[in-house]
Chain A
Amino acid sequence: MQEFIQTIVNGLQTGSLYALIALGYTMVYGILKLLNFAHGDVYMVGAYIGYFVIHWFGGPTALSIPVPLLILIMFALASTGCGLLGVAMERFAYRPLRDAPRIAPLITALGISFVLENTVLLLFGGFTRSYQTESFISATSGIHLGGVTINIVEIMVIVVSVAMMFGLRQIVHRTTLGKSMRAVASDREAAEMLGINVNRTIALTFFIGSAMAGVAGVMSGLAFDQITNTIGFLAGLKAFTAAVVGGIGSIAGAMIGGIVIGLAEAFSLSYISTKYADLIVFGILIVTMLVRPQGIFGRPLLQKV
């Protein structure tokens, strides 16, 4: 029972990270019908920004500022940095290809992902870096339930993710920006004719999505401790799976999908096999595709001629 609850907590933690990344995928896909393979690498860049912030303020063992402030600064810098990276990607790589054949931006996305991964490798080296979270956030503090400890990092990851998703939902449904995002997603040309600044809307979508991935990167560094330049690939893949399982284009779907994938992964890690956890996630994707291609929350697409 103890292990069971611990597994659920782990699953929720991983799942909320996947959900945060998945939101970026789903937003960009919803608005541009573009699969941004480089999104996982944006998350990786976020993790690196967080790492350098820690070292900027004296390193994990000799922090010069209080921990909550440090985490706030990490979030702020990672989300701004990654957001700008996302906007730059959109402006220089994807915008020129907006009316190109469908396959062209996908190949560009592959290229960007590859360049980002290797740029980080060139600049910071290929070795694994560690956040050493335990030296400034105690691993034992947190909520104790029977024999299970839900530590502060786990609580923070889940709470921050849920808060950000809620915030995003408010943005999309309550603000003018959200309205123009929905308009551009449903028909770009018509939105343009109605006076919506399409380029700005798309750029802001990229900014928000990438900023969320940046925050997810920082939190994954705090939660899993180790980062390398290749963490983006698998995380991106799984987050995309989450977006598809939940129903691509749907924000609630990305959340639920992320949690589903996170739980599935956690359970297969602790009860089935550590080796095949990725294959099980893959199996979920295939089954979803075959049984309900539009995902849990998606609506079936009508094909237009």
Chain B
Amino acid sequence: MAQIGVDDWVAQSGGRRDGGSGWRKLLARADSRLGWWPRLALVTLAGLIAGQLLTNVNLQTVAFNSLLYAMLALGLNIAVGWAGLLDLGYIAFFGLGAYGFAVLSSTATGASGSGGTHLPAIESIPIVILIAGVVGVVIGLIALRLSGDYLAIVTLFVGQAFMEVVNNVDPGTLGGVNGIFGLDSLHSFGSQVTSPLGYYYLALVMTVVLAGILHLLDTSRTGRAWRALRDDPLAASAMTIPVNKLKVMAFSFGAMVGALAGTLFAAEQNTVFPTNFTANILILIYACLVLGGVGSIAGAIAGGLVVTIGEQMLSSPNDAGYLFYGLILIVLVMRIRPWRNLAAVLTGVIGLGFAAHALAGAISSAAVAGAPGSGGSIGSAVRDYVIVPANPATYGNILYVVLICALVVIVRLHGTRRLLAVVPTVYIAACCWEARLIVNPSITTQIMIGAILIVTMAARPQGLLGTHRVETAEQ
């Protein structure tokens, strides 16, 4: 007689074995048992503790920015991730929020030096969000007539139009290219937020509340309808889902979240400039969303944190090295199996570097006369490793082009050949990094953000935390 439950046990044995062993298994089990809300509570707790630990004002600002980008990614996720509408005008709503707040809380509308509107945050933020929602509805109504790609181009124009308006409207009102400055802090009920830490906590509360609301929305009827719309608009409308209404809603909701983030941004920064709302920032928000995983709330938040912190690290020559070499190491460890190959590749990379450096030094001392761009301990560690000539700009440019070609070649190779090709490529990357890339941190950051979009889409379209979607490519 078969015991009760034996079949279940047998059926689950595969899953138990795949779950791994030791701490990994424990972690996976804990992960699967924890519900969504407790997780949000844990994240909130971590955020509060982090706030206590951040004593440096710069770090507090970075923390605030990462939450800001998390919020922006959450808003973008509504239209892009859930409803499947490629909204490239999202930056305009962010700007609308910021400019709206600026006009309502500064002397911008009054005569210079006096007057102006100074509404408390409890009034100005809802007003701004409402306006953004209405604008979202209007643009959504245009979007109704357009299918996917046309929508993208029209919204891209909306972002551009926002920039043009802000830049060209009478400088007395919107400040023109100089922006609006001297904004009030967020204030309500007689108290106001002034310190970066204060804004951090405020952003934390807002992000958590937003994530909660969005989770409820995601699991609601509307959320399911959005996903149906994303996967197949025609089938969705055949199932009596009001496709048009949902598209407009998605746009409008995203606009409101973007505007909320905008008000917070304007208040924290105390000023707004047209350059805060360029296409570069839009791509940055997309990078957050795509890296974290399109369609996932946790992914949007994680993407915001990772991208902002990464961007911050890149701008400092001492920290950028850790990020760069760490990333290379992680990729190598994750992609090269078994460990014997990994050890061989790592030995090869290190050996090749010192050999090449010694060789170049023996041929001409000028070829290795330059100092690596990294500072700190990484800088001194790679001093005898990378070849950096005295005047590295042209050399670095050539290496950069060679590096891109090498990466393209690696994608095409397989097996042992790929392993062999990895060794010189990593070394070229290191030389190029020390000679050229780290010297121009802002450009390097932009290139890496673009690369995030391309690589994530090709290698792991679901992002870090998203779940894989099976879709048919119906046109």
How long is the Cα–Cα vector from A111 to B290 in the complex, in angstroms? 11
Number of residues from A at the complex interface, CB < 8 A: 50
CB pair A123 B457 closer than 8 Å: no
Shortest distance in angstroms between A201's beta carbon and chain B's nearest beta carbon? 18
Which listed residue (B145, B283, B404, B443) contacts A293, Cβ 8 A?
A: B145
CB pair A108 B168 closer than 8 Å: no
SS class, residues of chain B in contact with chain A? helix
B148-156, B372-380, B415-423: which one contacts chain A? B148-156
Contacts of A113 in B (CB 8 A): 450
Contacts of A114 in B (CB 8 A): 280, 283, 446-447, 449-450, 453
Contacts of B234 in A (CB 8 A): 303, 305
Say whether A57 faces chain B, with CB atoms less than 8 Å apart.
Answer: no
Contacts of A240 in B (CB 8 A): 153
How long is the Cα–Cα vector from A241 to B154 in the complex, in angstroms? 9
CB pair B454 A108 closer than 8 Å: yes
Say whether B440 faces chain A, with CB atoms less than 8 Å apart.
Answer: yes
How long is the Cα–Cα vector from A93 to B436 in the complex, in angstroms? 25
Say whether B36 faces chain A, with CB atoms less than 8 Å apart.
Answer: no
Shortest distance in angstroms between B320's beta carbon and chain A's nearest beta carbon? 15
CB pair A103 B451 closer than 8 Å: no
- Given A279-B164, A282-B157: A122 and B152 within 8 A (CB)? no
Contacts of B461 in A (CB 8 A): 100-101, 104
CB pair A237 B458 closer than 8 Å: no
CB pair B152 A106 closer than 8 Å: yes
Which listed residue (A98, A101, A276) contacts B471, Cβ 8 A?
A: A101
Which residue of B has the minimal Cβ distance to A89? B454
Contact with A along B254-294 (1 / 0, CB 8 A): 00000000000000000000000001100100100010001
How long is the Cα–Cα vector from A276 to B169 in the complex, in angstroms? 10
A166-174, A204-212, A283-291: which one contacts chain B? A283-291
CB pair B447 A118 closer than 8 Å: yes
Say whether A110 faces chain B, with CB atoms less than 8 Å apart.
Answer: yes
CB pair B475 A33 closer than 8 Å: yes
Say whether A244 faces chain B, with CB atoms less than 8 Å apart.
Answer: yes
CB pair A101 B153 closer than 8 Å: no
SS class, residues of chain A in contact with chain B? helix
Which residue of A has the minimal Cβ distance to B156? A237
CB pair B290 A244 closer than 8 Å: no
Say whether A107 faces chain B, with CB atoms less than 8 Å apart.
Answer: yes
Contacts of B444 in A (CB 8 A): 122
CB pair B149 A282 closer than 8 Å: no
How long is the Cα–Cα vector from A241 to B156 in the complex, in angstroms? 11
Shortest distance in angstroms between B428's beta carbon and chain A's nearest beta carbon? 16
Contact with B along A77-120 (1 / 0, CB 8 A): 00000000000100011001111111111111011111101110
Say whether B397 faces chain A, with CB atoms less than 8 Å apart.
Answer: yes
How long is the Cα–Cα vector from A99 to B469 in the complex, in angstroms? 13
Contacts of B164 in A (CB 8 A): 275-276, 278-279
Say whether A121 faces chain B, with CB atoms less than 8 Å apart.
Answer: yes
Say whether B160 faces chain A, with CB atoms less than 8 Å apart.
Answer: yes
Say whether B329 faces chain A, with CB atoms less than 8 Å apart.
Answer: no
Contacts of A118 in B (CB 8 A): 443, 446-447, 450
CB pair A286 B150 closer than 8 Å: no
**27 contacting pairs across A/B (C-beta < 8 A):** A33-B149, A33-B475, A88-B408, A93-B454, A100-B457, A101-B469, A102-B149, A102-B473, A102-B475, A103-B86, A104-B461, A106-B86, A106-B149, A106-B152, A107-B453, A111-B450, A111-B457, A112-B450, A114-B453, A119-B404, A122-B444, A123-B400, A275-B164, A279-B164, A282-B157, A290-B142, A293-B150
Given contacts A119-B447, A303-B234, A304-B474, 16 further A-B contacts (CB under 8 A): A33-B149, A92-B411, A98-B473, A100-B473, A101-B461, A103-B86, A107-B286, A108-B453, A110-B283, A121-B443, A122-B447, A123-B400, A234-B160, A278-B161, A279-B164, A285-B153
A interface residues, Cβ below 8 angstroms from B: 29, 33, 35, 88, 92-93, 96-108, 110-115, 117-119, 121-123, 233-234, 237, 240-241, 244, 275-276, 278-279, 282, 285-286, 289-290, 293, 303-305
